[in-house]
Amino acid sequence: MDSQIVAVVLSFVFVFAIIFAATLLKKYLKISEFTTRKIIHIGVGNWVICAFYLFTDWYIAIVPPITFIIVNYLSYRYTIFKAMELEEKNPGTVYYSISLTILTFFTFYWTPKLILPYLGIMAMVWGDGFAALIGRAYPIKKISENKSLGGSIAFLVMSSIACFVYLLINSGGWDISLMIKLALLFSIIGTYVELRTRRSIDNLTVPLLVGLVGVLMERAL
């Protein structure tokens, strides 16, 4: 079987395994829908680390995220996967897949493939995911609608760590100091964008704006 087809199959297995695990947590440990949604949000986003090595052609690499635009829309409309839907309907999972599709295209379109665009995804899934969890648990000083200082600090810290780890794995041996600077830069951009964005569309604005900065920066180097 062609390695690209195997990569697509593995991608689906990975994503559905995360959803299944979150469903079990919700059912047996009575974890809230909000928390299981964030577990899926964070877990699925790590697909980009694997995808960077699994795929070579952009038109194959975008198959999983495009598929999940459809899957997530159907789940949003008909609550197919309860673990990733809230009682208060929010199309954030659909926006998530749209962002992932666009940044996957940018990553694999050029030869050699770009490294920095996927920092938009890492900033979103780890930063935004933990910002929501920490912000709800420790609502330190509300600074805007649905935003707290605690959540913004969590976004900055977790997105910095996630971006650094991603670069450490995928950069092919860049200088450590450069990776730290890039991780901080992209996490600061992501934190600012998230703070200035309405909650319902931050799954679009954060990854796309951060990822676009990555595209422009890397293409200019």
Q: Which helix (H) or strand (E) holds 153?
A: helix 149-170
The answer to whether 186 touches 158, Cβ cutoff 8 Å, is no
Strand runs labelled E in the chain? 142-144, 147-148
pTM for the whole thing? 0.93
CB 206 within 8 A of CB 162: no
CA distance 107 to 113: 6
**Which parts of the chain sit beneath pLDDT 50?**
none
CB–CB of 42/125 below 8 Å?
A: yes
CA-based nearest residue to 64, from 21, 113, 14? 14
pLDDT score recorded for residue 1: 53
Predicted local distance difference test score (pLDDT) of residue 99: 98
Q: How far apart are CA 152 and CA 64, in angstroms?
A: 30
**119-152 as b/e: b if 16+ CB within 10 A:** bbbbbbbbbbbbbbbbbbeeeeeeeeeebbebbb
The pLDDT value given to residue 103: 98
Report the amino acid identity of residue 143. I
Nearest to 44 by CA among 62, 25, 22, 60: 22
Give the Cα separation of 15 and 51 in Å (integer). Answer: 12
Q: Quickly count: other Cβ atoms within 10 Å of residue 77's Cβ.
A: 12
